[in-house]
Amino acid sequence: MTKKEILVLEDLLGSNKKIAADIRNQLSKKGILAVNLLSSPGAGKTMLLEKLSEVLKPDYKMAVIEGDIETERDAERIRAKGIPAWQIMTGGACHLEAKMIGRLFPDIPADLDFLFIENVGNLVCPASFDLGEHLRCVLLSTPEGDDKPKKYPKAFITSDSLIISKSDLVSILPFDIERVSKEALEMNPRLEIFVLSSLNGDGIKELSDYFIQALHKLRSDHA
Partner 1 sequence: MHELSLITNLFDILEKQANDKNAKKIVHVKLQVGVLSGAVPELLESAFDIYKKDTIAREAAITIEKVPLKMDCKDCKAELISNDYILTCSQCGSSNLKTIAGTELILEKIELEI
Give me the amino acid identity at 5. Answer: E
- Exactly one of 76, 147, 186, 206 binds partner 1 (CB under 8 A); that residue is 186
**Of residues 183-222, which lie at the interface with ligand GTP (CB under 6 A)?**
197-199
Shortest distance (Å) from residue 28 CB to Mg ion: 26
For CA atoms 96, 187, 46, 132, the dihedral sign is negative
Q: Does 87 bind ligand GTP (CB under 6 A)?
A: no
Shortest distance (Å) from residue 41 CB to partner 1: 15
- If the CB atoms of residues 115 and 218 are measured against Mg ion, the closer one turns out to be 115
Site size for partner 1, by CB under 8 A?
Answer: 32
Q: In what order do the strands lie in the sheet with 85-89?
A: 85-89, 62-68, 114-118, 33-38, 135-141, 161-165, 192-195
- The DSSP 8-state label assigned to residue 40 in this structure reads S
What is the rounded distance in angstroms from the CA atom of residue 2 to the CA atom of residue 24? 44
Reported as type and span, the H/E element at residue 49 is helix 45-56
Contact 19, 98 (CB under 8 A): yes
Q: Does 169 bind ligand GTP (CB under 6 A)?
A: yes
**Of residues 195-214, which lie at the interface with partner 1 (CB under 8 A)?**
none
**Of residues 29-58, which lie at the interface with Mg ion (CB under 5 A)?**
45-46
Q: Does 172 bind partner 1 (CB under 8 A)?
A: no
Stretch that binds partner 1, among 62-70, 79-87, 124-132, 195-203 (CB under 8 A): 124-132
Q: Does 126 bind ligand GTP (CB under 6 A)?
A: no
- If the CB atoms of residues 36 and 198 are measured against ligand GTP, the closer one turns out to be 198
What is the rounded distance in angstroms from the CA atom of residue 215 to the CA atom of residue 134? 9
Contact 64, 118 (CB under 8 A): yes
What is the rounded distance in angstroms from the CA atom of residue 213 to the CA atom of residue 153? 27
The binding track of 6-25 with respect to partner 1, each residue x by CB under 8 A or -, is xxxxxxxxxxx---------
Contact 28, 222 (CB under 8 A): yes
What is the rounded distance in angstroms from the CA atom of residue 24 to the CA atom of residue 14? 15
- The DSSP 8-state label assigned to residue 94 in this structure reads S
**Of residues 26-65, which lie at the interface with ligand GTP (CB under 6 A)?**
39, 41-47
Positions touching partner 1 (CB under 8 A) are 1-16, 93-95, 97, 124-125, 127-129, 150, 153-154, 157, 186-187, 189
Positions touching ligand GTP (CB under 6 A) are 39, 41-47, 74, 121, 165-166, 168-169, 197-199
